[in-house]
Amino acid sequence: MEGERRIGVAVDFSACSRKALKWTVDNVVRDGDHLILINVQPEGYYEGEMQLWEATGSPLIPLSELCDPHTQKKYGVNPDPETLDIASTIARQKEVVVLMKIYWGDPREKICEAIDKIPLSSLVIGNRGLGKIKRVILGSVSNHVVNNGLCPVTVVKHVPADHHES
């Protein structure tokens, strides 16, 4: 992957991450890029193959495999059809290689690790638009990545329809 742009997008299969992915596809990705979807699963007890990847994250999974239910089960991920559709469309329309890397643990640490280890040329991450109180308690993943990531980071804001309830 030497000399090629590796554009990362943090995806958790939510409306917020779909918006970030769509924004990346519309505004950043160009022919010849690698689009790498970064997914972080919560830590827990893993069986079989997942134990092998707990420390380093999964291998880079090609889009074709990601669409396969066997692969999804193997890594414990459940990508939504819309995310897969956005990724498949860009792979068809432009000369873009779409891959996914799955990590297990704290999203703040693991996304920064992905930036460093893959390594990524840039990263796009959604911002869930948490209310002030929730943000103080949970801490913002996007804030952490902006402040600690070693590449340019773009935050795509997502304000839910019911954003007044915080």
- pLDDT tens-digit series, residues 12-39: 999 999 999 999 999 999 999 999 999 9
Does residue 121 sit in helix, strand or coil? Answer: coil
Domains along the chain?
6-157 (3.40.50.620)
Is the per-residue pLDDT at 165 higher than 90? no
Average pLDDT over residues 67-92: 94
Amino acid at 94: K
- pLDDT tens-digit series, residues 113-137: 999 999 999 999 998 766 666 655 5
Supply the pTM of this predicted model.
Answer: 0.87
Q: Please state, for a pLDDT cut of 90, what percent of the chain lies above it.
A: 66
Burial of 48 (0-12, 13-18, 19+ CB in 10 A): exposed
